[in-house]
A and B are shown apart, each in its own frame.
Chain A
Amino acid sequence: MTDLTFLALATVTVASAILALEARDLVYGAAALGISFLGVAGLFFLLDASYTGVFQIAVYIGAVVVLILFTVMLVGPQLGEPPLELKRLSLLTALLVSLLLGTAGSLTSAAAFPGPDNCGAGCDLTRLSTTLINQYGVPLEFLSLVLAAAVIGALTLAKADRKG
């Protein structure tokens, strides 16, 4: 059952991620990106990391996808067709990334994640917060820059359009 759910979620995530890159219409691309994020959130739920899953939905779909959609709608569809060279390059990049990920995945052993130290369904909030702030404070702050990056990106794109 879990395997089936995982396969379904993984299929949805990967397929919509591909659609997000390949869609002719950028609005469809952004919506597909949202569905892909939703699939990732589902994977988090499957891993018992419901807290992360919920914030994946809130931040990535509720904020990042909305900003992307907003920019796409303001800038208009004429930027939608990327040049062919970029497509070849993206194919190469995809190949490289999957190679890297595959190597990393095959090198990783179970020993890299020792013990049942993850914050599962029964884990209390206090411990999670303490761990987040004390141990992972700096990475957390860096992660929160995602939103700032999205805002700056949206502003840049919207402004570039106004000049031209």
Chain B
Amino acid sequence: MPDPVSQILQLVTSTYFLEIVVFPGLISIAILGAFFTWFERKLTARVQLRIGPSYSSPVGGILQGFADIIKLLFKELIIPEGADRFFFIMSPVTALIIGAALLGLIPFAPGVQIANVEVGLPAFLAIVTLSPTIVLLAGWSANSKFPFIGGLRALFQQTAYEIPLWLSALGVVMITGTLNLTGIVQFQQNNGWLILPQALGAVLFIVTSTAEMERLPFDLPEAESEIMMGWQAEYPGPLFMLVQGPAFIKLYAFAALFSTLYLGGYLGPAIIPPIVWFFLKTIVIIVAVMLFRSTFPRVRLDQLLRQGWTTLLTLSIVNIAIAYFVVVGLPAI
């Protein structure tokens, strides 16, 4: 007869619980989020020949992210007059849930995956499509000019990148013949990394996913210099933290998805454990996306829409043709 204490202990030490709460779940997400905020600021500063955060640290202001979290948590929670309280508070919470749900689908190492869904890849992309809706609701609920403009921009932006994003991932599905993310990694174990046959698809994927993450050069819904953080403008301290959190979680999740799809996920020579391989690849992608921010100017909305519906769409259809020839073989001429 197991007593309640040992039952609770059993639950707390079970793999499933640890995966959700510690790694790759919530605690690791929070720590990595704080770390990435510092890392991005430091990296951008270095590119622009500044020093960046340097005080709160053992080394190079590395604890800046945690200091920011503590600061934001102790700010007053002000909800603007005339705002729709329900959506104003629930939107950041939902955005955080969406971000965390994405990481549940990623295979971090053999067996280290919260949910090995049969349709992992479209599930990831489908969960992602919810976030512009949340942004629109958040922008609308603040009952203020800039947030609403930001929300509408998020929506316009979605129409530009959504279809190329799905189509560029379709190339991988055609070659591997599976929608399961673990299956895609296992395919690459036998056939080499997909970045070689799908180079165009990889470029398209990273461009469209940068647009999805609302990061420079596609950060139109936030655009500090035009509409002052857009849909996030009215959020007070603690909620602002909840709004910023998903942005970094999505960066992490998309980088992880990119390395799963194109860079062989956790595969690599056995000298280093798979999980370290996975993080090495993911961090390379994260650094690349962060460098976009410090090197590219922001595009205009009409440019993004036009390029999305012409160049990106055409190229992603070309990419599907490439995937077709990879599967079927080149025609004899």
Residues of chain A having any CB pair with chain B under 8 Å: 27, 31, 34, 50-51, 54-55, 57-58, 61-63, 65-66, 69-70, 73, 121, 124-126
Contacts and interface: CB of A to CB of B under 8 A. Distances in A.
Contacts of B87: 27, 31
A50 B122 CA distance: 10
Given A55-B122, A57-B126, A62-B126, 20 more contacts: A27-B137, A31-B87, A34-B133, A50-B119, A50-B123, A51-B122, A54-B119, A54-B123, A57-B130, A58-B122, A62-B162, A63-B129, A69-B133, A69-B136, A69-B140, A70-B136, A73-B152, A121-B118, A124-B177, A125-B177
13 contacts: A27-B87, A27-B140, A31-B137, A50-B117, A57-B129, A62-B133, A63-B129, A69-B133, A70-B152, A70-B155, A73-B140, A73-B148, A73-B152
B144 interface: no
B144 to A, nearest CB: 14
B179 interface: yes
B85 to A, nearest CB: 12
A162 B34 CA distance: 46
A70 B92 CA distance: 19
A144 B119 CA distance: 20
Nearest to B151: A73
A150 B290 CA distance: 37
Interface in B5-38: none
Contacts of A27: 84, 87, 137, 140
A34 to B, nearest CB: 7
Nearest to A61: B130
Nearest to A69: B136
**B: interface residue count bin:** 20 to 34
B294 interface: no
Nearest to A72: B140
A77 B192 CA distance: 55
Contact of A54 (B84, B126, B133, B140): B126
Contacts of A125: 173, 177-179
A62 B119 contact: no
Contacts of A65: 133
Contacts of A57: 126-127, 129-130
Contacts of B178: 125
B158 interface: yes
A54 B122 CA distance: 7
Contacts of A63: 129
User: Closest 9 A-B residue pairs measured CB to CB?
Assistant: A62-B129, A58-B126, A57-B126, A54-B122, A54-B126, A50-B119, A54-B123, A54-B119, A66-B133
A66 B155 contact: yes
B136 A66 contact: yes
A62 B118 contact: no
Contact of B133 (A50, A55, A61, A124): A61
B177 A66 contact: no
Contact of B136 (A54, A58, A73, A124): A73
B117 A62 contact: no
A70 B276 CA distance: 44
A51 B121 CA distance: 10
Contacts of A50: 117-119, 123
Contacts of B179: 51, 125
Interface string B113-153: 00001110011011101101100110010000000100010
Contacts of A54: 119, 122-123, 126
A8 to B, nearest CB: 17
B82 to A, nearest CB: 13
